[in-house]
Each structure stands twice: as structure tokens, then as C-alpha cells.
Amino acid sequence: MVPIPAAARQGLRSFAPLIVLLALFAGLSLATDGFFDLWNFGRLLSASAIPIVLVMGATFIILTGSVDLSVEGVIAVSGVLVSMLVRNSMTPLDLGLWAVPIGVALGGAIGLLNGVIHVTLRAPSFMTTLGVGFACVGTATAVLGGDTVRISDQTFRAISLQRLFGLPYGVWIAFVTVGVALFIQQRTLVGRWLYAIGGDEEIARQVGVPVVRTRVLAFALAGLFTGLAGVLAAAQIGQGHALLGSGRLFVTITSTVVGGVALSGGVGSVLNAVVGVLIVVTLDDGLVLLGVPPFFQQAVQGLMIIAAVALSLDRSRLAVVK
């Protein structure tokens, strides 16, 4: 048997998520009647909007070999803050769309805090961000006293409800975030530094990459994207509460890894992550169309992330698996 060259294997690995997505489309189109329908595709894109925004930030973090588990907490506090700044049922404030950059900025500030704690205390990223995430959920709960803020500002809600060329504004915002993230990844030094750190942090430091600053910046950028996702989530459901981000962490990490962004760092791209989101959302949609019970859907998702992690890791770079 002729061995496959390393370059060919790497190329195949990078295109694997797209191949899986196309195969999924083909299989579901044959197995269901309503999959290839414009309304269904619009629904898929609408369901993908917030996860796409989230994986933009998650990709930057994972490329460095770290992970951000504060997603649900950041969504909660950003969504609650923006809900209390627009016309709502709890406060007299009415900032309209001016509340949006404030909610995004709060997410960025929390991401910056994640990065500073992680690099200055040399604490593992998963423990640092997990703790910050819990603190954020607790803060959102304390601020609201366990209550829910109802949004009555229709201009703000139009972010999710209004449509342009048949798609909600939220979908177009997600497309813009992909463009921004792709620019950062491919056209800036920061993007190159992320790959260098994920590939080999010690070598990156020796060739002059500002490792500490880049890691902090990656977490700050991720926080901005997550803050925006919190704003979109609040606009989507018209409410702000402490559980606004519930379930988003699993989808974010799963989509990023399924898209081929290796947890070991240095491999993948934001476009891979977008394909990962489409795979996860399409699979969920297909299972619903096929009438698969919810508990089986969860089992399929669990098996999918295990398979994705196993396939995305380059074991030649790993001396020990922990």
C-alpha cells in the first residue's frame, strides 16, 4: 500500500469538513422531502447566525492552544446589560441602538480580563474562563434578582426580526463578522502570531512573537465577538436574563472542532469554523425533519464531537495525550 504524503494528508484534513457538509446535504436531500427548500435554507442560516459570531472568537483562542469556557456567562451579562439600556420593563433607560456597542464593549472587557488572568497568573485557560463564566452568570442573576427584562424597543428587536433580501439582519451581521475575523487572521500580524503560538509557543517567543500580548488580545477579541452574540441573542428573543447563553458553549466548541480547528492549536481557520457551524446546524435540522427523538439527537452530537476531536488532532505533534 502506497503511503499518503504528509502534505496530502494535511490538505485532505483541511477539506474534510466541507466534504462532510456536502455529504450531509446530499444525504438529507434524499432522506427528507423538505430539506432542499428556500424557507428551510433561510431557517438554517438564521439558526447559524449567533453560533457563527461565537466561533469567530473561539477560533482565535483555540488556534493558540487555549480554550474559552466563559461564553455562556459573557452572553448573559452582555445581553442583560443591553436589555436594560434599551426600552424595557425594568429600567427607564432608552438608549436605542447606542446600547449595542456598550454590550459589545462589555464582552470585550470580560475577554480582556480572561486574558490578563490567564497570562499573568499562568492559570490554565479552561479553569480561568470557566470561573469567569460562572461569575458572569452569578452577576446577571444578582442584578436581575432572578427576574427577566422584557425588551419593548422595536428598533433594537429589528436586528433580529427585520429582513434584508429575505434574511434577518442578524445573518448579515454574522457575515460581516466572518469578514472581519478573516481579515484579522489573514491580513494582520496578530493572525500570524496566533498560528505561531499554537504551533510552538517557545519557538514563537524565540523569533520575537509577543506571546503574552497576543494571548491577551486573542481573549479580548473573542470577548468582543461573544458580547455581540449576547446582543443578538437578546434581540432575537426580546428578553434579557441570566440563562440567555444556556447551551451556547457546547455548540460553539463543537462547531469549531467539527470544522477542523485542532484543540492542540495552530491548525484551522475561521472559514473552517463556519463550515463546522453549518454541519452542526444542518445535522440538527435533519434529525428534526427525520423525526429523531431529542435524546437521540444529543447522543449523535456527543459522538460527533468525539469523532471530530479524534480526526482533527495531529498525533505526530503530541508526545503525551492528557
**Other C-beta atoms lying within 10 Å of the C-beta of residue 77:** 29
The whole-number pLDDT of residue 1 equals 46
Residue 6: exposure state from Cβ atoms within 10 A (0-12, 13-18, ≥19): exposed
Give pTM, 2 decimals: 0.90
| DSSP per-residue codes, 195-249 | HHHHH-HHHHHHTT--HHHHHHHHHHHHHHHHHHHHHHHHHHHTEE-TTTTTTHH
Q: What is the pLDDT of residues 54-100, one digit of tens each?
A: 999 999 999 998 999 999 999 999 999 999 999 998 889 999 999 99
- In percent, the amount of the chain with pLDDT more than 70 equals 90
Per-domain residue ranges for the chain?
A: 21-312
Q: Is CATH 3.20.20 the right assignment for the domain spanning 21-312?
A: no
| DSSP per-residue codes, 267-287 | ---HHHHHHHHHHHHHHHHHH
Residue 85 grid cell: 439600556
CA separation for the pair 193, 205 (Å, rounded)? 10
CA atoms within 13 A on the CB side of 168: 24
